[in-house]
Each structure stands twice: as structure tokens, then as C-alpha cells.
Structure 1
Amino acid sequence: MNVDLDLLRQYNQSLPRYTSYPTAPHFGEAVGRETFRAEVWRANTAAPQAPLSLYLHLPFCRQLCYYCGCHMKVTHDPARIAKYLRYLKREIDLLAPMLSSDRPVTQVHWGGGTPTLLSPEQIRELGGHLRDRFRMAPDAEMSIEADPRGLTEDHIAAAREIGTNRLSLGVQSFDPTVQEAINRVQPERLTRTAVQWARDHGIESVNLDLVYGLPHQTPDTMADTLGGVVDLAPDRIALYSYAHVPSVLEHQRLIPEEALPAPTERLRLFKQALERLTTTAGYRFIGLDHFAKPDDELALAQDNGTLRRNFQGYSTRAGADVYAFGLSGIHQLSGLYAQNTKNLPTYYDQIDQDELTVYRGYRPTQEDRLRRHVIMRLMCNAEVQKGAVEARFNVDFDAHFSAALDRLRPLEQDGLVALGPDAITVRPPGRLLVRNVAAAFDAYLHDAAPDAQPAYSESV
């Protein structure tokens, strides 16, 4: 895939990642526990056999990585982890009876934090608890995020025993100087060993996370990292852009700004990685920051039009409501977004009162649903068929979205999109800037005053 740096520079701006629409900054406390309960009842009554997707948030890490933007807490106290696990299981026990037992779980994702900070026995315990409370589909996808540092083969064995078939390993960079600057020293051999354990225990898919734009990162260090990653032949690769926002994340002040690549160099690192992965290594660019082998489930789902997005990124499990357990987790139901509290003492207090921990959310309007549909089709399939939208939502596409189409005309002139009479198609160069294309349909982005806009990461 060829990359035009001039176009990337021209269109690179702060935009949502569109894991939801409206996006999380628009959530409010008008949606609370009672609203959530009512929507759970409605959703289960309306579709008592619809599939479920479960998300478990394990927030603890052994140490703080300076680049990190996740909701996490540092601990070295096994008792603190054990307490959280007890409450997480109690939260599951509160919500599971509200869901129809006929609803199959087709996807489970363990995120964090570092889920593998749990001991192997705790992984078995939590996995068994899920299976006791929910009906797992025979082909359910279960993925777990892991840190090669501190990982043991028994962790992998335990994960496989409970049904894990996808493993995601954080790499970021193999360069020691970069690793020291971000406080994540992780010798390459640890990653290689973890990948081998996963293969040995029959885990079907391995993903490696990389980050570009890190301190002291250069074309040479990026080339070395890419060479090591390609040699490991993971099934998927995520290539994230480092967002340096020390005004929001105070710990990022520990990264010396003078060590960060200049904006142009940062884009060159992205171009270098993209071309190596797609042209030389043969990976398919799925979109945004995801790559997969051509025969991977993500690529196949994109081909057949069933690829979806949720707060965990791209998903192959279409039509599943997402129920989230743990601190800060976000539920995604067809008619509601709802987020759990981010405050750990509050989380414990509410569960002690046999209460769910939802503290804010958003109920999409019909207009939101319409725009969400268009945005997600562009983000996932790089195309939206006007006739299908008109039939589903009873609108005249061109009339309803006249302002959005006007916003897209400069992108059309630059070869990023094709505005046809029947469809909007994202051209290959535009797929690198698909957030810009989707943003044309974001009413909240364009209706708000510039000084009232939430802070988003850059589109490249």
C-alpha cells in the first residue's frame, strides 16, 4: 500500500475513533442504574435469544508504562487483586440473572490493565465462573490481553483451559532505548517465548500491539521492531499512534518531549510500518490501526460485510449486545450506552449494596442511530449504500446528509472518497484517513463550538 505523506499531513487532525456513536465524551449522568436496568429488561424481552458479548476489565498492572492511556492502577499486592476478583464475580452474579439464559455468549474479551496479573488459578476461577453463569456458544471467541513480562506457561495453559482462543500481547517496540524511555523494559525473547507458548497450547490467533511516535523511535529502530514482529508471524497486528497529552495524563510528563519524533517523522514511521506490513509481509490493512493475515477472521468478515466496531475495536461478532464487568467498563446495547464507575471504592460500595455500578451513559436518538449506521459502515466496510440506508431509515440520503456530502467534496477532489449516485466509497488512499470520512457525518462534531470539543487523538 502506497502512502502519500502530503495527504496525511493535510488531513491529520484530532478526531474520534468511532468505537461508538455518539462517542463517550457525550455520555451523561442522566443515564444511571435504573435506566440501564430498564433497557436490559427491554432488550431481553425484545430479543431473548440474541447473542451476547462480554467484556471483563482487570485494571491492575505491576508498573506504570509512561505512554499508557488506559484506565489502570499499579499494585504489587496480591490481596488487592484477590479482593477485586471477588467483587467482579459478585457483579457478574448481579447482572447475569437479568439476561435471558437462552442468549448465547459469542465473544468474551479480557482487557485492562493486565489480565494476566491474575494468577493462573485465578484465571481458571474467573473463567469457570463465567461458564457457570452464561451459556457459551460452541464457537465463542475468547480473547485475553497479556503482558509478556511476568507471563508464565501456566498462564497460557489456564487461559486455554477456559476456552481462550485469541491472545493479544503488548510489544510497542523491541528497541531497548525506547523501552527504557516509556518504562517498559521487555526483552524480545519474552515476546517470542509467549508466542511459542500460545502456539504450543493451541491458541488459534495471536495479536501483537505496536506503537509508533514513541520517544527515541527512529526509522532504524522501527525497522528492527517490524522485522522481529514479521518473523513471529502473528495473525493480527495493531499499530497504534502514541498520543502525547500530558495535560490530560500527568504521567506522560515523565517522557521527555525533546525525545519524541517530530510530526513529519512520526508520519514517516507510520508510512514505513504500513508499507512493510502490507507490501512486504502480506498483511491486510483492515482499517484505522488493525492489520490481519488475508485468511484471518477479521479480513473475511470485512469481505462479507459483517465486520463491526465496539469499544474493543473491530469485531467479527455482529449483532451482539456488549455487557461490561469491572471498573470503567462500557455496556453497548442496541438502545443504550452505559458506563460503570471509574472509582474503585465506589465500585466496591455499590456492589456491597447489591447494586450495579453504572454511573453514566447515553440513549441514542433515531437520528443518532441513522448516523451511527452510516459511520460504522464506512469505518468497517469502506462503503455505504445509499439505497440500503434509505430503506432502513426511511430517509432521502442525499437530502438528509447534504451538509455531510458538502464536507466530503474536498476529500473527493483529493482522491480519498468517491461520491457516487448510489454509494459513498472510501478509496484506498482514504482508508488511511477513514476517521476523516466518517467525521463528515458526526453531527456532534460539527454542531459544537470549537472550544467545547472533547480532546481526541490525531487521525493518523
Structure 2
Amino acid sequence: METSIVQKYNVPGPRYTSYPTVPYWDNGEFTSDKWQQSFLKTFKQSNATEGISIYIHLPFCESMCTFCGCNKRITRRHEVETQYITSVLNEWALYCDVLPQTPLVKELHLGGGTPTFFSPESLEVLVNGIFDRAVKAPEYEFSFEGHPNNTTREHLQKLYNLGFRRVSFGVQDYNETVQKAINRIQPFHNVAKVTLWAREIGYTSISHDLVFGLPYQTVDSMVDTIEKTKALNPDRLAFYSYAHTPWIKGNGQRGYSEDNLPKDQEKRQLYEIGKQILSQKGFFEIGMDHFALESDSLFDAFKNGKLHRNFMGYSSSKTQLMIGLGVSSISDSWYSFAQNEKTLEDYYRRIENNELPIFRGHLLTDEDLIIRQHILNLMCKFETHWDEVNGRFPELHSVLVSLGEMEYDELLEFGTHSIKVTEKGKPFVRNICMAFDLRLKRKAPQTELFSMVV
């Protein structure tokens, strides 16, 4: 890919796990009461037909990984597990108390932080506590994120017995110099061990997370990481760009100089070479920064046009209602978003007062809903369309005009009432989405908000 194209489009931009993106939420119109009305409306519409999704944020980590942008609390005191799980289940009870019928859970995801910081027994208490007030949908999908250094066979077996069939292991990079820079010392044999355990136990989808653009990464180290990854043959991969945002994440991302990071074309080369090798190894590109074998459900969802994207990332199924439990979690009723308190102290205080621990949110306008669908289409299908009635909005013509240069650069193709991202344009799908982002256009950020697109 030409250097000029990479430099031209390497600008700060959102990752679009939502639209509007969090910095552009209109908190002035939002209240907890309006959020309750919204999630109840969606629940009544969809619980019986498609069920709901639950995301549970488990924030504790024993050490700080300096590349990480998650909300976390660093501690080695495992006695914190009991209070946290009690609070999460109390939050769940606050939701269940107002729901008109028993929730049908289609998706459950444990994220972090480090979910496997918690003991298998604690996780069993958590999951069983959720299903004291809920039932599993007929075709449910439960998943969790495991740290290869502390995931035990007991973790994997316990969660499998509770219905989990998908696990994602954070690998990032196998090079020792890179691992030291990001404070994630993780030998290959640790990843191999947990991957083989998961396969022996019966997990049907094992994922590895790889990151390109980390400090001291080289083409040789990236090739070595991907070759080692393929040797373990995970079913799917997240292969995503490191988001360098030290102005947001504090001292954690200042443990190395920006001079140590691969830049522009060098960083893009890491991705292009990685993508080429993954393709040769039988992995297909799915949405943005994700790859899957033909045998994985994510490939089927992409092939059949059913891939979905939300605050949990890509999913092979969709529910209109996603309830986020735990500190900093974000909920989505399709018509509104709500985020929980971001500090443990505030989260615990609100739960102790029998309040939903929400501190901000956004009520989507009719325009937001149209733009959201276009961005979802681009992120999940690499195309979007409109007709004389549906998918149109007053600024559509100006949006299409602004995409003209990307068409000239062969990043997309125009149809009569559609646009389609080309193979050359896939690395720049975030740029194409930004053309539709009316809130970003109307109020360009005056300070650093987003990581670079490339």
C-alpha cells in the first residue's frame, strides 16, 4: 500500500463500537428514569423473540499492562472478589426487579480487567447468581476473556460446566523485548497450555488477541508471533491496532517513548504482512481487525450478513438489549446508551443506596439511529445502502460528496443507492465511517480524543 495513502488517512478517529461515540453523548437530555423507560421498552419488544445480552466487567488485575486501555484496578488482594461479585449481583437484582418477565439470556460475556483474576468458585457464584433470576436462551453463547498466565484448567472446566463455549486469550506479541516494554511477560508455553486445555475440555471457539503497533515491534517479530499463533490453530483472531492515548490512560502508556512505536507506513506494514500470512494460513478477514477460520461461527455470521458490533466488539448474533453490569460497563437498549460509574468507590456507593450505578448516557435521536445503522453496515458488511425512503437523512448528499476523494483513491465504490468498501479500502473503514459521523463533523474535537486510524 502506498505510503502517501497511509499518511493521508492516518488521522485520529473513533473505533465505532457505538454511534454516537461516547465523547459525543448528550448527557443533558439523559436521566436514569429515561434509561429505565428505554430498556423496558426494548425488553418488552425483544426478550421473548431474541433474548438479551449481558456484559459483566471484572476490573481487577494483579499487574499493569502498559498497552491496556481498559478500566482496571491493580491489586493482589483476592479478598476483593466477594464484595465485587455481591455488588454486581445486587445491580442485576435492581434490573430484574423492574423487568415484567424473566429475562432470556442469549449472550453472556465476562470481560476485564482480568476475569480469571477471580477464582473458579467466585465465577461460579457470579454466573449462578445471574441465572437465579434468568434463563438461558435455546441457542445461547457464553464467552470470557482469559489471561494465559493465570487461567487454570479448573477455570476452564468450571466455566465450561456453566455453559461457556468461547474463550479469548490475550496474547498481544511473543517477542520478549515487546513484552517487557508493555509489562506483559507471557511465554509461548503458557498460551499453548491454556489453548490445548480449552480444546481438550470441549470449547468450540478459541480466540487469540494480537496487537500491532506496539513498542519495538518489527516485521520479523510480527511474523514470528503469527507463526506461533497458527501453530496453536485458534478458531478466530482479533488483530488490532495499538491505541496510543497516554493523555487518557495516564502513566500506564508513558513507560516508553513514542519514538519506540512503529509509525505510519511501518505500522501499516505490520498489519499488511500479518494479514497476508493469516490469509495463507486459512483465516478470513471478518469486519475490522478480525479474522476467523471457515469453521467458526463468526465466519458464518459475516458470510450470511448477520455479523454485529457493539461495546463487546464483534458478535455472531445480535440482541437489541445489552445490559452492562459492573464498574464502567456500558448498556445499550438500541434507543439509548448508559454507562456505569467509573470508579469502584462510586460504583459501590450507588449499589449500597439501591440505585442503578449510572453516571452518564445518551438518548438516540431519529438521525442517530439512521447514522448508527450506516456505520454498523460499514463495520460489519463493508457496505451500506439507502433507498428513496429508508436510510436517508438531510445531509446524505454532502456525506456522499465528501466520499468522492476516497472513491478516487479506490477505497470505495459507489452504486446507485449504495457504497461498498474495496479490498484496498478495508484498512480505512474507520475513515469512511467518519464521513457519516455528523456529530463529529459538527463539533470537531479541540483536544486529543481518539487514537490514530492507522
Name 2:249's counterpart in structure 1. Answer: 249
Name 2:118's counterpart in structure 1. Answer: 118
Q: Is the 8 A contact 2:42 2:320 kept in 1?
A: no
Name 1:456's counterpart in structure 2. Answer: 450
1:211-232 Cα offsets, whole Å, 9 max, x none, are: 1111221111111111100111
Name 1:261's counterpart in structure 2. Answer: 262
Where do 1:203-218 residues align within 5 Å?
Answer: 203-218=203-218
Identity %: 37
Where do 1:42-441 residues align within 5 Å?
Answer: 42-50=41-49, 51-101=51-101, 103-250=103-250, 251-278=252-279, 280-387=280-387, 390-392=388-390, 395=392, 400-441=395-436
TM-score by length of 1: 0.94
- Cα distance change of structure 1 residues 450 and 60 upon mapping to structure 2, 3 Å threshold: closer
Q: Is the 8 A contact 2:43 2:321 kept in 1?
A: no
Q: Which amino acid aligns with 2:437?
A: D
Q: Is the 8 A contact 2:60 2:117 kept in 1?
A: yes
Counterpart secondary structure, 1:165 = strand
Q: Is the 8 A contact 1:29 1:359 kept in 2?
A: no
1:94-120 Cα offsets, whole Å, 9 max, x none, are: 112323435421111100000011101
Q: Is the 8 A contact 2:53 2:319 kept in 1?
A: no
Q: Which amino acid aligns with 1:379?
A: M
Whole-angstrom distance in 2 between the partners of 1:270 and 1:414: 20
Whole-angstrom distance in 1 between the partners of 2:323 and 2:157: 26
Whole-angstrom distance in 1 between the partners of 2:331 and 2:355: 16
Displacement of 1:428 in angstroms is 1.2
Counterpart secondary structure, 2:306 = coil
Whole-angstrom distance in 1 between the partners of 2:351 and 2:417: 51
Displacement of 1:207 in angstroms is 0.6
Name 1:17's counterpart in structure 2. Answer: 15
Counterpart secondary structure, 1:185 = coil
Whole-angstrom distance in 2 between the partners of 1:4 and 1:275: 16
Q: Which amino acid aligns with 1:297?
A: S
- Cα distance change of structure 1 residues 47 and 244 upon mapping to structure 2, 3 Å threshold: closer
Displacement of 1:171 in angstroms is 0.4
Whole-angstrom distance in 2 between the partners of 1:98 and 1:160: 30
Displacement of 1:159 in angstroms is 1.1
Q: Which amino acid aligns with 1:32?
A: T
Q: Which amino acid aligns with 2:261?
A: L
* Count of residues paired in the alignment: 451
Displacement of 1:314 in angstroms is 1.1
Name 1:36's counterpart in structure 2. Answer: 35
Q: Is the 8 A contact 1:286 1:302 kept in 2?
A: yes
Q: Is the 8 A contact 1:104 1:134 kept in 2?
A: yes
1:46-73 Cα offsets, whole Å, 9 max, x none, are: 4452420100000000100011111111
TM-score by length of 2: 0.95
Whole-angstrom distance in 2 between the partners of 1:436 and 1:254: 29
Counterpart secondary structure, 1:63 = coil
1:231-281 Cα offsets, whole Å, 9 max, x none, are: 111111111211222222222111233332233322211111111112x11
Q: Is the 8 A contact 2:301 2:317 kept in 1?
A: no
Q: Which amino acid aligns with 1:269?
A: L
Q: Is the 8 A contact 2:110 2:144 kept in 1?
A: yes
- Cα distance change of structure 1 residues 337 and 408 upon mapping to structure 2, 3 Å threshold: same
- Cα distance change of structure 1 residues 301 and 44 upon mapping to structure 2, 3 Å threshold: same
Whole-angstrom distance in 2 between the partners of 1:287 and 1:277: 15
Displacement of 1:20 in angstroms is 0.8
1:336-393 Cα offsets, whole Å, 9 max, x none, are: 1010110211111111111110110000100111111111111111112222xx4445
Q: Which amino acid aligns with 1:14?
A: P
Displacement of 1:197 in angstroms is 0.7
- Cα distance change of structure 1 residues 5 and 270 upon mapping to structure 2, 3 Å threshold: farther
Is there any run of 5+ residues in structure 1 with no aligned partner, and where? Answer: none
Counterpart secondary structure, 1:171 = strand
Q: Is the 8 A contact 2:174 2:188 kept in 1?
A: yes
Whole-angstrom distance in 2 between the partners of 1:64 and 1:78: 16
Q: Is the 8 A contact 2:245 2:450 kept in 1?
A: no
Q: Which amino acid aligns with 1:137?
A: A
Displacement of 1:6 in angstroms is 4.1
Q: Is the 8 A contact 2:213 2:242 kept in 1?
A: yes
Q: Is the 8 A contact 1:19 1:309 kept in 2?
A: yes
Is there any run of 5+ residues in structure 2 with no aligned partner, and where? Answer: none
1:272-296 Cα offsets, whole Å, 9 max, x none, are: 1111112x11211112211111232
Whole-angstrom distance in 2 between the partners of 1:375 and 1:307: 13
1:119-165 Cα offsets, whole Å, 9 max, x none, are: 01111111111222111113211110010112210011111011111
Q: Is the 8 A contact 1:287 1:432 kept in 2?
A: no
Q: Which amino acid aligns with 1:458?
A: M
Whole-angstrom distance in 2 between the partners of 1:214 and 1:108: 30
Q: Which amino acid aligns with 1:13?
A: V
Q: Which amino acid aligns with 1:459?
A: V
Displacement of 1:28 in angstroms is 4.5
Displacement of 1:198 in angstroms is 0.5
Q: Is the 8 A contact 2:212 2:240 kept in 1?
A: yes
Whole-angstrom distance in 2 between the partners of 1:141 and 1:367: 32
Counterpart secondary structure, 1:247 = helix
Counterpart secondary structure, 2:36 = helix
Q: Which amino acid aligns with 2:41?
A: R
Whole-angstrom distance in 2 between the partners of 1:373 and 1:428: 21
Q: Is the 8 A contact 2:145 2:168 kept in 1?
A: yes
Q: Which amino acid aligns with 1:455?
A: L
Whole-angstrom distance in 1 between the partners of 2:264 and 2:403: 25
Displacement of 1:180 in angstroms is 1.0
Q: Is the 8 A contact 2:24 2:440 kept in 1?
A: no
Q: Is the 8 A contact 2:39 2:321 kept in 1?
A: no
Worse-matched range after superposition: 300-309 or 364-373: 300-309
Whole-angstrom distance in 2 between the partners of 1:378 and 1:252: 30
